[in-house]
Structure 1
């Protein structure tokens, strides 16, 4: 009996390590740095970014309830039934994702659109994984334009005390280049054919009305509370109604994803504030636009664009230059933007990471010089 249990446990552990390699990697980084460079507890709380984690938790709970209620499937049926061409449907989803990210932030947009895309793919011939990759790129392009579109823009907008529309004007050339390239990619990548529906998948999408109402109210309240800095209170407040009426939805929330983000925040936050990193940055002249652009974009590929923004905030004198650099850095490697990880995790498609890099890295190489030229000439 014992000998038969051990191989099963070993196989489960191996499967978990493969599935959660990011959690293991950044958890190990956070642990190694904590042992090699101990810091006061207040520093770890700062790096953990509890409001951000709480916001993600609340959004994950609300969206899981919406998915379990049948609303996503009903919306997917309605949209797929009215679509004609795959490219037209793809452009609609990409444009919707980009537009939503300007006002609801990149994370919220993905939590709404990726489940919808997966549901549409389940009842039609829409290629799900390419669409999810396009949507991950779309939130980066769309959120670039708005001061509230993503965390790095919000940080720079508030720290620089820029007027809302002055920030938008400064980011417009970069966002326009990104979105134009994304439209070209969408048209070139998606097949030309018409949308073909599976009639069986369209039938009988019942809606669990109480869960749907609670989940929609939960989503709206989380977005509102996040805007007012009350994400932790909002997330904790959702636990009670969902524990009473939707325990299964709570169990199905991707808690490992939340733990992965916590590990990333701790590991990269600590890494970015190591003394050796600060001393290395002192050798560069961040008054030069190209230095800021390359520094922000390249740092994002290593530590993600939000920590890269924090790292360079006191070195770069031009907040728009740093914002452009950090947003460009959201393309390329998956770690460039945490929104990339959210999109792939929500989709749960095989070989998602491989396909993402096959598209996102060339996209960065083409996009970065064009964005820099457009920003310098038109910004």
Structure 2
């Protein structure tokens, strides 16, 4: 296995050298380090290690499913079941949104994107565009429930309202955005019948690897939800080292490095005195200012840190939850799910396609959120 790990290291290094987002983060670290009062020795404390642990475990389990051949076979079944490219796109986008309401947006992508890649290899459908639409879908779907994404969970705990009350507040925004997304999906994918590409063969099914991967999924998610992500990922990694070390050799370790560096950069930026003073001068006691600040902050530091930061200045969860969920669109940093989807796509230019749709989506969602919030009786 030494050769496999050497190949994996070379693959990671090649990927990072070609990863423009990683290079931008690396370049930004230099001025941030000079401006920040935090010493380099404190950078490890800026990383959200439970998130990194959860991401590592999900990467390993999804790679296990992929290498087992199960997703390939499921892709063949979908091709045989769905009559047209439009139907396939609508089905996958809807499934991504639905899964994200209960499994969180990140987990939904780890399930849907590998399946999408396999199906697109079979059919020649535009994989990158479909994955971008799925990224938009999980941002929409996860906004509906308190457990759909981390910022909702945080704000739900802050609000101390019932599950149903939280869902009812977000329902108009999510329903409108989902209707718009499905209409756009129907328009951007053709109604022609799906055809399997020539010379395609079904990947052999590794039943043992499939069984291990599926058996670990539930306990891993439960342990992570109980804030034991470190122990959970340790168990997953040890088991794969024993039963299938090739799974770990093929993980996207570069994605983990990108997330570590992103946490450091964004939290150094958020900790700058000038940034903190700027936030204090925004007049966040005004609901409109709070809404716009939540959207803008999400574009800079992503919506989870934005929610945590703004909660220091306001208790108005109704406005904040709209703002940070709308802020998941637009710039790819707006939501960590965006970065995961783009990385899993394997397309170095996927970010161009993403912004072609996500920036207009941010404009539409911002206007819609504004109308729903400030036309309501409580304001």
TM-score under structure 2 length normalisation: 0.91
Q: Which residue of 2 aligns with 1:68?
A: 67
Cα deviation, 1:64-88, whole Å, max 9, x if unaligned, reads: 1110010110111111111102111
Cα deviation, 1:147-172, whole Å, max 9, x if unaligned, reads: 11111111111223222222111111
3-state SS of the aligned residue for 2:137? helix
**Is the CA contact (8 Å cut-off) linking 2:294 and 2:323 kept in structure 1?**
yes
1:205 aligns with 2:200: no
Structure 2 distance, partners of 1:319, 1:244, is: 46
Structure 1 distance, partners of 2:159, 2:42, is: 24
1:26 aligns with 2:18: no
**Is the CA contact (8 Å cut-off) linking 1:298 and 1:329 kept in structure 2?**
yes
Structure 1 distance, partners of 2:345, 2:15, is: 18
| 1:46, distance to aligned residue in structure 2 (A) | 4.5
RMSD over aligned Cα atoms = 2.2
Report the more deviating stretch, 248-257 or 172-181.
172-181
Q: Which residue of 2 aligns with 1:47?
A: 46
Q: Which residue of 2 aligns with 1:106?
A: 105
Structure 2 distance, partners of 1:189, 1:153, is: 30
**Is the CA contact (8 Å cut-off) linking 2:83 and 2:194 kept in structure 1?**
yes
Cα deviation, 1:283-340, whole Å, max 9, x if unaligned, reads: 2222222111111111211221112212211112311211110111111111111111
Which of 258, 272, 276 is the matching residue for 2:274?
276
**Is the CA contact (8 Å cut-off) linking 2:146 and 2:152 kept in structure 1?**
yes
| 1:37, distance to aligned residue in structure 2 (A) | 2.6
| 1:204, distance to aligned residue in structure 2 (A) | 3.5
Q: Which residue of 2 aligns with 1:320?
A: 318
| 1:241, distance to aligned residue in structure 2 (A) | 1.2
**Is the CA contact (8 Å cut-off) linking 2:72 and 2:202 kept in structure 1?**
no
Closer, same or farther: CA 42–16 of 1 in aligned 2, 3 Å: closer
Structure 2 distance, partners of 1:54, 1:249, is: 16
Q: Which residue of 1 aligns with 2:236?
A: 238
**Is the CA contact (8 Å cut-off) linking 1:331 and 1:361 kept in structure 2?**
yes
Structure 2 distance, partners of 1:337, 1:252, is: 25
Which of 330, 333, 348 is the matching residue for 2:331?
333
In structure 1, the gaps of 5 or more residues are 1-11
Q: Which residue of 2 aligns with 1:138?
A: 137
3-state SS of the aligned residue for 1:146? coil
Structure 2 distance, partners of 1:369, 1:357, is: 18
Cα deviation, 1:328-366, whole Å, max 9, x if unaligned, reads: 111111111111111111111252111111111112112
TM-score under structure 1 length normalisation: 0.91
Q: Which residue of 2 aligns with 1:92?
A: 91
Cα deviation, 1:196-229, whole Å, max 9, x if unaligned, reads: 123642x433211111111112222221111111
Which of 283, 293, 296 is the matching residue for 2:294?
296
Closer, same or farther: CA 164–64 of 1 in aligned 2, 3 Å: same
Q: Which residue of 2 aligns with 1:5?
A: none
Structure 1 distance, partners of 2:108, 2:175, is: 19
**Is the CA contact (8 Å cut-off) linking 1:332 and 1:361 kept in structure 2?**
yes
Which of 370, 373, 377 is the matching residue for 1:372?
370
3-state SS of the aligned residue for 1:177? helix
Closer, same or farther: CA 245–154 of 1 in aligned 2, 3 Å: same
In structure 2, the gaps of 5 or more residues are 1-10
Q: Which residue of 2 aligns with 1:8?
A: none
**Is the CA contact (8 Å cut-off) linking 1:304 and 1:335 kept in structure 2?**
yes
Matches within 5 A, 1:351-362: 351-362=349-360
